[in-house]
Amino acid sequence: MSIIELYKSAFYLNNSYTGLDRLKLLLLHAFVFCFPFDLFYTNIILITYMLIGLLDFKNLNFKALNVKTIALQGFFWLSIAGYAYCSQRHEAGLYLERQLMIFLVPLVFTTTLNIKFSQIESLLFTLAGSCVISLLYLFTNVALNILENFESFSLSVAFSGAFFNHYFTTPIGIHAGYFSMYCVISVCVLAKGIISSGHFLSNTIRGGMILILGLGIFFLASRNSTISLVIILLIVLPFFISKQNRLNYIAISAISVFIVGLSIYFTPFLNERFSSQLISDIKPLSNGSEINYNIIEPRIERWKCAWHAIQQSPLFGYGTGDEVAVLQNEYNARGMVISSLYALNAHNTYLSVLIKHGFVGLLAFLLLMVLYSSWAIKTKQFVYIAFLIVLWIGFYTENILDTNKGILFFAVLNTLLSKTNLQDVPEFSRKNSPG
């Protein structure tokens, strides 16, 4: 399917769609397009969408709400349960306010629009387009900075980190880690589009977009996202490619990964980030001595603090909103001044859930993730599987569900991708089924 046909199919697939339905779908596209930008825009668009839905109250489909909707809201309900016994009520209230998106998105999307697979595909392509446009803006900003400082510019300074990671994304004000997750999913969406479409021009455009996204991921320098993308492209995607093309794809992908690896090796900032900085993050401090790679204490030291706190309240944890307060006590006891000063969380979603909700809560959390994974595998959705891989790996070093951008990423994509079934996806899952 060409890109134009994709959007035509999305807006005119259902003959019963009214002008209001198409307006709501258009707002959803605007909502997804604004993902990389300030939260103000996504909030305004979502509120507008909800108001239009309320104006069309008689057509709200409350019958579509079921146990699956509650499951999609599961992490929010877990936080509600933790509020009952927390001690930091104010922090818990702010946390629930952020996580309200996990409650609202499944509720609103389910009742206001009978969305089909091709419409979800078009929304995902809009996200990819937004990421590409954002990256082009960021590359332009880098080029302008180089031109403005051309006389004093040197490659050694540039490759030392001046244009990578958070420095790269500063102009649009988004955390490099979260933007890189958007870019990884965008690559997966476009790769899926190339495999399932025979339209040369559209696939050429998709290929060009993938190159821009790949370069963007290189500059974003997110270890989680890079590892996730390698696993997805080398291990998962081959199962969705026909047998006659699979070996060629694996060979080309392996060569591409090798070239990227060489680029990382010969780029000082990336070499350090993927080697010494990575080791320092997971290597405990020896006899209280500092590792001089970073100002902030290694992640593993915060993980040790988290684990010690968990042991004091292992069953149900301390409650929603108590994580930072509990960890600050541990930081102070261990002389971890920087972590305490910046009130850093555990930077590990699994440990974060243990602190808030104990092993009972972690079991519920993992069961929900396994449930979502079973939906993705059952429907043979490559993008959904890729999305969950990004989460499973990202949870290891980030509190993804504590931040607005992470919550937005999870709530919207998990809801949209879970709304398809096997009958909805004949073009990709049936023609290119694993085997």
Q: Cβ(404)–Cβ(98) under 8 Å?
A: yes
Range of 243-252, 292-301, 396-405 with top mean pLDDT: 396-405
pLDDT tens digits, one per residue of 109-146: 999 878 888 889 999 999 999 999 999 999 999 888 88
Considering only residues 2 and 278, tell me which one the structure prediction assigns the higher pLDDT.
2
Tell me the C-alpha distance between 139 and 146, whole Å: 11
pLDDT of 285 > 60? The answer is no
Distance separating alpha carbons of residues 358 and 210, to the nearest angstrom: 41
Least confident range from 183-187, 188-192, 333-337, 383-387: namely 333-337
pLDDT for 433 beyond 80:
no
> How far lies 205's CA from each of 133, 221, 307, 334, in Å?
13, 24, 48, 54
Render pLDDT for 218-272 as a digit per residue (tens, 0 to 9).
Answer: 999 899 999 999 999 999 999 998 888 888 888 888 888 888 888 888 887 787 7
Share of the chain above pLDDT 70, in %: 88
Average pLDDT over residues 54-72: 90
Q: In whole numbers, what is the pLDDT of the chain averaged over residues? A: 88
Please give the C-alpha separations between residue 253 and each of 67, 256, 271, 364, in angstroms, as whole numbers. 40, 5, 21, 37
* Residue 93 in this model has a pLDDT that exceeds 70: yes
| Residue 405 near residue 178 (C-beta atoms within 8 A) | yes
Banded model confidence at residue 287, pLDDT cuts 50, 70, 90: low
pLDDT tens by residue, 4-13 = 888 888 887 6
More confident position, 295 or 339 = 339
What is the per-residue pLDDT for 55? Answer: 86
The residue whose two tokens read 């709400």 is 65
Residue with the bigger pLDDT between 183 and 151: it is 183
- pLDDT at residue 292, rounded to an integer: 40
Q: Is the pLDDT of residue 282 over 80?
A: no
Mean pLDDT of 300-308: 93
CA angle (247, 252, 255) in 5-degree steps: 125
pLDDT at 161: 74
Residue 430 banded pLDDT, cuts 50, 70, 90: very low
Q: Residue ranges of the domains in the chain?
A: 3-57+82-274+360-430
Q: What pLDDT, on the 0 to 100 scale, is given for residue 108? A: 93
Distance of CA 97 to the CA centre of its chain: 20
Non-local (6+) Cβ contacts of 100 within 8 A are 76
Residue-level pLDDT at 420:
66
Query: What's the rounded Cα separation, in Å, for the pair 260 and 257?
Result: 5
* Residues 244-253 pLDDT 10s: 888 888 888 8
